[in-house]
């Protein structure tokens, strides 16, 4: 596993939120470079700002989220319909705890974040027809996903999921397995007597995962859409399953829980992790903006919605924690 599990959700959340605070600052910096604050020296509504800066009508929903993120950071104020530059706003970049941020994203990524253009694309989408930060699950974006899926804060969700659902000799599922990082962790946890089956919707990710899993003969990787169910898998066979980072892309969430419940043995565990939720945490507006530009678009859930849908399928919540607006849920088939 890539992350030290001695970290608690509380300590990891502190690191993660410092990272997101820096993300807000970088967004503010790019907004300033594109004249947003100059235009908002006087109050304007979203339509007036869009006309002044040439924002595309098709991006109106994104403009709203963009402005809400700047309000959350304290760079703008609003009366609910108009926005203007805050009297408290400053062009001076605040100091960030670099050691804390490194715990969330790794030391190698820290300078690239602070001095790169990682958030410039968000502002660029407001005036460009092409969404260059959609990051679809295809080979062309492989390096981007490889880097993100191995960041410490994301790995923490995955590592805790592996620890919760896998044991030596067990049969486990990695749902939305991506390019295979979780498959490798599960293979190590179930050892040579266990079985790991990975499912992913992307042909490119499946191909990458198959190649990565060649040293692990007890790992199988299949292409399938979770929204369509998994009728080709054996009922009541698996000891555990995990879905990390993909719940917010599912369209048929009720069916997902019914499917997994049917595949688990009684007492089997399902961990749903890195789940995008609406909870009003510090990172909420920034993540609402970023994930609205994902392809496919991500849709948030709530704790109650997720646990109620799971309960309807016979999956009882046993443990939960949150890091910012992202949740981790351990469920058990009753």
Contact 242, 174 (CB under 8 A): yes
pLDDT tens-digit series, residues 233-290: 999 999 999 999 999 999 999 999 999 999 999 999 999 999 999 999 999 999 999 9
Q: Give the integer Cα–Cα distance in Å for 137 and 135.
A: 6
pLDDT at residue 127, rounded to an integer: 94
Q: What is the largest CA-CA distance in the chain?
A: 68
Domain 9-124 has CATH 1.10.10.10: yes
Identify the CA nearest to 319 among candidates 3, 9, 1, 4: 9
Backbone angles phi, psi at 282, to 5 degrees: -55, -35
- CATH number belonging to domain 145-333: 3.40.50.150
Grade residue 86 by pLDDT with cuts at 50, 70 and 90.
very high
Identify the CA nearest to 275 among candidates 304, 251, 243: 243
Contact 311, 147 (CB under 8 A): no
Domain boundaries, the chain: 9-124, 145-333
Which strands sit side by side in the sheet containing 82-85, from one edge to the other? 44-45, 82-85, 76-78
Q: Give the integer Cα–Cα distance in Å for 158 and 271.
A: 9
**Burial tier of 70 (Cβ tally within 10 Å: 0-12, 13-18, 19+):** buried
Q: Give the integer Cα–Cα distance in Å for 117 and 277.
A: 26
Q: Give the integer Cα–Cα distance in Å for 179 and 25.
A: 31
pLDDT at residue 121, rounded to an integer: 86
pLDDT tens-digit series, residues 97-150: 999 999 999 987 776 676 556 677 889 999 998 888 888 889 888 888 888 899
Identify the CA nearest to 72 among candidates 115, 17, 125: 17
């Amino acid at each position: 596993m890539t992350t030290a599990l001695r970290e608690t959700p509380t300590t990891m959340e502190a690191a993660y939120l410092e990272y997101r605070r820096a993300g807000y600052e970088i967004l503010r910096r790019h907004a300033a470079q594109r004249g947003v604050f100059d235009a908002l020296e006087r109050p304007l509504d979203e339509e007036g700002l869009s006309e002044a800066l040439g924002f595309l009508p098709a991006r109106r929903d994104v403009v709203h989220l963009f402005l809400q993120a700047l309000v959350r950071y304290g760079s703008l104020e609003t009366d609910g319909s108009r926005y203007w530059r805050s009297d408290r706003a400053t062009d001076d970049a605040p100091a960030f705890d670099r050691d804390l941020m490194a715990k969330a994203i790794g030391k190698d990524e820290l300078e690239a974040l602070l001095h790169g253009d990682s958030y410039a694309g968000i502002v660029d989408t407001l005036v460009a027809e092409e969404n260059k930060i959609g990051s679809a699950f295809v080979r062309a974006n492989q390096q981007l996903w490889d880097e993100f899926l191995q960041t410490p804060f994301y790995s923490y969700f995955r590592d805790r999921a592996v620890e919760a659902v896998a044991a030596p000799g067990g049969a486990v599922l990695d749902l939305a397995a991506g390019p295979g990082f979780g498959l490798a962790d599960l293979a190590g946890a179930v050892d040579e007597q266990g079985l790991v089956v990975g499912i992913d919707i992307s042909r490119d990710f499946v191909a990458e995962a198959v190649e990565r899993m060649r040293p692990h003969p007890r790992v199988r990787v299949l292409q399938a859409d979770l929204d369509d169910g998994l009728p080709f898998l054996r009922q009541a066979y698996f000891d555990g399953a995990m879905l990390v980072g993909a719940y917010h892309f599912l369209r048929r969430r009720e069916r997902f829980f019914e499917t997994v419940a049917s595949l688990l043995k009684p007492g089997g565990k399902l961990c749903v992790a890195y789940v995008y939720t609406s909870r009003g945490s510090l990172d909420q507006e920034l993540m609402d903006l970023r994930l609205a530009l994902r392809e496919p678009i991500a849709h948030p859930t709530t704790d109650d919605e997720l646990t109620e849908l799971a309960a309807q399928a016979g999956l009882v919540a046993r443990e939960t924690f949150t890091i910012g607006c992202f949740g981790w849920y351990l469920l058990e088939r009753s």
